[in-house]
Amino acid sequence: MAILLHARLANTALLFFLFMAVWGFWRFFRQQGLGSSYWGAALIAEVLILFQGGLGLYLWITDSPPARGGIHVLYGVALALAVPLVYSYTRGRQDRAEMLLYAVAFLIMCGLVLRAMVTGS
C-alpha cells in the first residue's frame, strides 16, 4: 500500500512540477515576477516533496529499499533542496529574473523526478 502511494505521489509531483514550470515561464514571458499565488504553490510543491521523502524513508526502514537506493535517495535530496536553494540564491526577491530561475528549477525538478522513478523501480 505504501509503495503504491509513493509511486502515485511521484506522478503527482511530476505533474505539479511541470505545471509550476509552465506557469513560471508563462509569468516570465508576460513580464511578471513571482506573485503570492506562485509562492503558495511553491510551498505546496516543497511540502509534497518532503512528504514523498518521508514516505520513502518509511519504506526504506520497513525493508523495502529501492533497487538502486543510493542514487534514488540522492535524487530525492536534490529535489527537497531545489526550491530552498533557489530562494536562498535569489534572496527572496520577486522580480521577473527570479521568476525565470524558479521556472527553470521546476523544469529540472521534473527531470529529477523522472530519474528517481526510473532508479526506484
How confident is the model over 81-99, as pLDDT tens digits? 999 999 999 988 888 889 9
* pLDDT given for residue 103 in this prediction: 96
For residue 113, give every residue at least 6 positions away whose Cβ sits within 8 Å of its Cβ, in sequence order, or none: 10, 13, 14, 17, 75, 79
Q: Look up the pTM and report it.
A: 0.90
Three-state DSSP class for residue 49: helix
Reported as a single tens digit per residue, the pLDDT across 26-81 is 999 999 989 899 999 999 999 999 999 999 889 888 877 777 778 888 999 999 99
At residue 68's C-alpha, the angle toward residues 66 and 72, to 5°, is: 75
Check if the beta carbon of residue 99 is closer than 8 Å to that of residue 28.
yes
